[in-house]
Amino acid sequence: MGAHPKGDALIKDNRISQRTLGQWIADYPGCLGAKVKDTFHGQLPFLFKVLSVNTALSIQAHPTRELAARLHAQFPEHYPDNNHKPEIAIALTQFEGLCGFRPVEEIIAFLKSAAGKDISGSNGELLLRLHSQYPGDIGCFSIYFLNRIILRPGEAMFLSANEPHAYLSGDCVECMACSDNTVRAGLTPKYIDVNTLCEMLNYKPAPASSKIFPCVQDSSDPCVYLYDPPIPDFTVMRIQVPSSVKQYTVSPLDCASILLVVHGEASATSTAALSDITLRRGSVLFISANESVSLHVTSPSGMTMFRACCLL
C-alpha cells in the first residue's frame, strides 16, 4: 500500500481516470498536505504492508540515507533506491522475530551450550526449525547472537538504520520509508551482501525488552494508539473502535494517510467520496490531507484499523 514504483497501489474506483495511487498524487500533489509535499518533494514518504510470515524472512538491515545513496550509485541492480528504509512491525498475532545483538553474557552462554552440543530448549527448537527451512545456511546460527523477540498483538518493534533483524513467524502490519533497500546476509534466496552488512551493523548489545517499541494513547481520541518512531517519514495509528460506538469519525490530519481495516465492518462517507463505501476486513482507503471519514459501524464487535501517516 503506497506509491513506490515497484508496487504502485491500484485504485479500485473505476470512475476516475487515474489507475494508480502514484498517478493520483502526481495529478493532485496537494492531497499530501503542504508540509509533506514540500519536505518529500511531492512523494508519499511511506509504504504500508501486511506480512504473514511462515518461513523466516532473511537476516538483514537497512542502510542510512548516506549508505543507500552510495550503494545505489555502485550497485543499482541490487539497491534500487537512494533512500533509507527504517521500518516498524506491529503484531497482529503472536509474532516472532530477531532484533539487535543480545547482551554479551547471553551470547557467551549460548555459544558454550552450542560447543557442548546442547541444542535443547526453545532456542534449539528454533535452530532446527530454521535449518529445516534453509539447510546449510549459516544464518541459522544468528539466533545465538541476536535477540529473540516474541510480540503479543499490538506490540511493535522499530528497526532503525543498521539494526540487524529477521522476521520468523506470525502476522504483522509493517510501515517503512518509501524504499526497497535491504542488505541481506542469510536465510534468503535473494542477493546476499555479507561484507556490506558486517560493515554497517549496529553492534551495541541490548536486552530483548529494549527492542519492544511502545505505543501511546492519543490524548484527543481514546480509540487511537500512536506508534511514533524517531524518524520523519511515518507514524502509525492503531484505531480500536469498541462495540458500544456505532458512529466514529476518522479525524482529519494535515497529511495524507492510508487506512487499513483488519477487523469489523462499517459504511464510510466523506466529502471527497462519490458515494458511500462499505469497509470490511482488508479494505484500504487513501485519505487526503485535511479530509475526514465518517463511519457507521455495522459489526457488533466494533472495529480495528491501522492508519499510516506522516506527522511532521
How far apart, in whole angstroms, are the C-alpha atoms of residue 303 and residue 293?
A: 14
How far apart, in whole angstroms, are the C-alpha atoms of residue 227 and residue 87?
A: 11
Measured CA distances, 289 to 11, 195, 251, 292, 312 (Å): 18, 42, 10, 9, 12
**293-297 β-sheet, strand order:** 247-250, 293-297, 266-269, 277-279
How far apart, in whole angstroms, are the C-alpha atoms of residue 100 and residue 118?
A: 24
Cβ 3 vs Cβ 32: under 8 Å: no
| Helix count and strand count (H, E) for the chain | 6, 18
Query: What residues are labeled active site?
Result: 184
Question: Residue 53 has which C-alpha cell?
Answer: 510470515
